[in-house]
Structure 1
Amino acid sequence: MSGHGAPTLTVDGRGLRVVVVAASWHTQVMDGLLDGTRRALADAGVTDVTEVRVPGSFELPVAAARAAGGGADAVVALGVVIRGGTPHFDYVCQAATMGLTDVSVRTGVPVGFGVLTCDDDAQALDRAGLAGSHEDKGYEAAQAAVATVVALRALA
């Protein structure tokens, strides 16, 4: 499992403003990712949460950039891209990854990366935080974003 060795994070996100940008493809997987994100933010005490839906994972960076520029303390980006028979998978995964990385580095606003890049539906379902899933990547992405805000504040 890719989650092997993951840290146990306990973070206090009270007073933070977090924007969740989520793709619309693969409803069942996205519902699981969103539920995990909501649980993680609630566990961290974050109450100022805005959720924005975009068509797909390719559109996540532009929404994340707007959120980061609009005063969000952190952004959580959620999406899922499942490999098909064409190079489209590679282009979308690369664009989402590079775009979200650019937003975070350029703005200084942490972006939790909750974009699943899977070979098939079964892998996506196994990471979506649903009943029977082995991992909860929505929870992890939100927790990482909040923990990074806290870490960065220690550097200020």
Structure 2
Amino acid sequence: MSGKGAPQLSVENCPDLRVAVVAAQWHAQVMDGLVDGALRALRELRIDEPALLRVPGSWELPVVAKVLASRGYDAIVALGVVIRGGTPHFDYVCQGVTQGLAQVSVDTRVPIGFGVLTCDTEEQAFDRAGLAHSKKDAGHEAVTAAVATAISLRARHRRVPQWP
């Protein structure tokens, strides 16, 4: 993803949202940047008590997201990083995590901010991790997207009572 054409999201009226962040532990420095960016975004949105759960790797994100959705969270942010190696493992993990998180979101109607970096190189991951030298802050962006979607669903629900 080039980042070109990204929307400028404006998020307001959300301090009462329950938001959970679930983050993998592989690639600690990259993950620390993603988690820091996510927590900074939540503070900026005045969401004071987000849940933060750490899981072994990106593969575990969908199952934990599903449990969190069943516990009444308004939005979930999934953070992870998968870096291509020399085997098809990368493809299987990326596809499984992506499809798993999408399925959880559709099934539960809880927005999931997708902050899973799927990179060819470690350098690409560092460039997206929200660190001091990074070009992107994917953790922050994932929070903003999830919360904006939750607010949109809340507003839609209030205007259209028959919404399923």
Which TM-score band applies after superposition, normalised by the shorter structure?
over 0.9
- Contact 1:15/1:48, CA 8 A, preserved across alignment: no
Q: Which amino acid aligns with 2:51?
A: T
Hey, what does 1:44 align to over in structure 2?
45
- Contact 1:10/1:44, CA 8 A, preserved across alignment: no
What is the TM-score of this pair, normalised by structure 1? 0.98
List runs of 5+ in structure 2 lacking aligned partners. Answer: 158-164
Structure 2: how far apart are the matches of 1:3 and 1:46?
Answer: 26
The structure whose Rg is larger is 2
Structure 2: how far apart are the matches of 1:14 and 1:90?
Answer: 37
Q: Deviations over 1:20-51 (max 9, x none)?
A: 00000000000000010011111111112000
Hey, what does 1:6 align to over in structure 2?
6
Hey, what does 1:79 align to over in structure 2?
80
Structure 2: how far apart are the matches of 1:41 and 1:10?
Answer: 13
Deviation at 1:10, TM superposition (A): 2.0
What is the RMSD computed on CA atoms of the aligned residues? 0.9
Secondary structure at 1:89 match in 2: helix
Equivalenced residue count is 156
Q: Deviations over 1:70-123 (max 9, x none)?
A: 111100000000000000000000010000000100000000000000001000
Hey, what does 2:161 align to over in structure 1?
none
Q: Which amino acid aligns with 1:147?
A: A
What is the TM-score of this pair, normalised by structure 2? 0.93
List runs of 5+ in structure 1 lacking aligned partners. Answer: none
Secondary structure at 2:46 match in 1: coil
Structure 1: how far apart are the matches of 2:136 and 2:83?
Answer: 17
Hey, what does 1:132 align to over in structure 2?
133
Deviation at 1:7, TM superposition (A): 1.4
Hey, what does 2:68 align to over in structure 1?
67
Structure 2: how far apart are the matches of 1:10 and 1:40?
Answer: 12
Bigger drift between 27-36 and 6-15 goes to 6-15
- Contact 1:73/1:109, CA 8 A, preserved across alignment: yes
